[in-house]
Every structure is written in C-alpha cells, then in structure tokens.
Amino acid sequence: MTNIVLFGPPGAGKGTQADIIKDKYNLIHISTGDVFRFNIKNETELGKKAKSYIDKGALVPDEVTIDMLAKEVDKHLSKASGFIFDGFPRTEAQADALDALLHEKNTQVNAMIALEVDDEVLVERLLERGKTSGRADDADEDVIRNRIKVYYEETAILKNYYQTQDKFYRIDGVGSIEEITSRISEVINKL
C-alpha cells in the first residue's frame, strides 16, 4: 500500500491535488473536511460537535477525528491500493494514532507531502473560494487568518514528526494545477 499524508494550510490546494492523485495512483482519498461537512450538512451529532469548532476556525478534538478516520479506513481497506489523508493528522497525537491504526493493518505512512503557499495567497484563494463554496469559514477574512494561524501553531509541528522518520517532502504549492501535480508525482514515483 502507498499511504500519503497531504499537508498544508487551508487553501493550499490539498483537495484539488488529492482528487487528481487518487485517480492517478488508485488511492482512496479521505478528507476529514469533506467528512465533517457531510455530517454538518446532515446535522448528525458528530456534525454538530464539529461545526461548533470549525465555525471558530479551531480544530475538532482528536478523539472525534480519530474514531471517524478509523471507520473510513476500515470501510475502504479491502479495495484500497493505499490512502491519501487530507486534513489528517493535525497533531502529534493524531499522527501517533494514524501510525498505530495503519500498523494494525500491516501498512504505514510512506510520505508526508506538504504544499507550501504564502499566507496572502492563501487568504486570496479562500476568499475567492468562499464566493462559490457556501462555506462560512471561507467568507470571513478574520476566520481565514485564524485558521492559518492555528495551522502554524498547532499543525505545522508535524513537519518535524515526519522529518525524523525521513518521510517529509516539501512541495511548492504555487503554479498551475498540472505543475503542482507533477511535483507531487515526482515524490510518489520514488516511494
């Protein structure tokens, strides 16, 4: 199995790239954001909990996210050539939990691919996306800046987690979609 953690601040292009890479390499894309949005839209108990955090630009608690992820992995494991984890892990506790979960399935994270984009470009991208996405967290510049700040304070530390395992790969997240896909593919092809 090839298992990729696709990493980057909000607006870096993770969802766009994950959609392309999953098809190219026959991987299952697990986006915690998509799963949260589905639950929020359908007003499930998980959705209500997640919404209270997301609306403030904060992270959803680990235990909720980890349980949800385990169910998603189990649902697709028999048909998967691997997974792209988009929006997960976001903390060292989540990274440890992901390692333990994959170890139980006799596999592991092969690479963390980090899309790096300047903050002002991120804000511009998210405000533009907010015009069509219907997502409240993409329409308010203060919430966007807080999401980016939370990313740097609470999640960027995972760079060190994966660097110590020699699994961290930095990718320039600016350019055409095709250029960025090509940079990501270079990494995956070497795994």
Whether 191 is in a domain gets the answer no
Whether 58 is in a domain gets the answer yes
Q: Is the pLDDT of residue 64 over 90?
A: no
DSSP 43: T
Catalytic residue among 22, 51, 125, 147: 147
Q: Is 10 within any annotated ligand binding site?
A: no
CA 180 vs. chain centroid, Å, equals 16
Q: Is the pLDDT of residue 148 over 90?
A: yes
Q: What is the 3-state secondary structure (H, E, C) of 57-85?
A: CCCCCHHHHHHHHHHHHHHHHHHCCEEEE
* Domain at 93, CATH number: 3.40.50.300
**Has 90 been annotated as catalytic?**
yes
- What digits encode the pLDDT tens for the residues 72-114? 898 899 988 999 998 889 888 889 999 999 999 999 999 999 9
Expressed as residue numbers, the domain containing 61 is 2-186
Whether 111 is in a domain gets the answer yes
β strands within the chain, DSSP E: 2-7, 28-31, 82-86, 111-116, 168-172
Q: What total of structural domains would you count in the chain?
A: 1
Q: How many whole angstroms separate alpha carbon 135 and alpha carbon 126?
A: 10
Query: Cis peptide leading into 9, omega within 30 of 0?
Result: no
pLDDT number for residue 180: 97
Catalytic residue among 22, 51, 90, 125: 90
Q: Is the pLDDT of residue 36 over 90?
A: no
In the sheet with 111-116, reading across from the earlier edge strand, the strands are: 28-31, 82-86, 2-7, 111-116, 168-172
**Has 125 been annotated as catalytic?**
no
**What mean pLDDT comes out for the span 4-13?**
93
Q: How confident is the model at residue 51 (pLDDT cuts 50, 70, 90)?
A: confident
Catalytic residue among 49, 129, 145, 167: 129
Average predicted confidence (pLDDT) for the chain: 90
**What mean pLDDT comes out for the span 128-146?**
90
**What mean pLDDT comes out for the span 142-147?**
93
Whether 139 is in a domain gets the answer yes
Q: How many whole angstroms separate alpha carbon 160 and alpha carbon 186?
A: 22
Whether 159 is in a domain gets the answer yes
Q: Is 170 within any annotated ligand binding site?
A: no
According to DSSP, the residues that pair with 3 across neighbouring strands are 83
**What mean pLDDT comes out for the span 163-172?**
96
